[in-house]
Amino acid sequence: MNVGVPAERAPGEKRVALVPAVAKKLVDNGHELYISAGAGEPAGWADEAYEDVGCTVLSDREELFETASVILQVQALGAAPDIEMDPYQDGQVVVGLLGPYDITDEQLEALAERNVSAFSMELIPRISRAQSMDALSSQASLGGYKAALLAADGLPKMFPMEMTAAGTIRPAEVFVIGAGVAGLKAIATAKRLGARVRGYDIRLEVKQEVESLGAKFVELDLETEGSGDEEGYAREMDEEFYAAQREQMREVVPESDVVITTAAIPGAPAPELVSTEMIEAMDAGSIIVDLAAPTGGNCEPTEAGETVHHDGVTIHGPTDLPSRVSKTASQQFANNVNSFLNNLLTDGDLDIDFEDEIIESTLLTHDGQIRNPHRDDGTEEAADETDADAADETDADAADETGGETDAA
> In angstroms, how far is CA 173 from the centroid of its own chain?
25
DSSP per-residue letters across 230-271? TTSPBPP--HHHHHHHHHHHTTTGGG-SEEEE--BBTTBPPP
- Give all strands of the β-sheet with 2-5 in edge-to-edge order: 56-58, 32-36, 2-5, 70-75, 93-97, 117-120, 363-366, 369-370
> In angstroms, how far is CA 13 from the centroid of its own chain?
13
Q: Which helix (H) or strand (E) holds 117?
A: strand 117-120
CB 173 within 8 A of CB 257: yes
Break the chain down into helix, strand, coil percent, rounded to 5.
Answer: 35, 20, 45
Return d(Cα 351, Cα 168) in angstroms, integer.
Answer: 63
Amino acid found at 75: Q
- Residue 204 three-state SS: helix
Could you tell me which of 54, 56, 52, 58 has the C-alpha nearest to residue 7? Answer: 58
CB 346 within 8 A of CB 355: no
Catalytic residue numbers, as ranges: 126, 131, 134, 137, 233
Q: Which stretches of 68-206 are DSSP H helices?
A: 105-113, 135-154, 181-192
Return d(Cα 172, Cα 39) in angstroms, integer.
Answer: 40
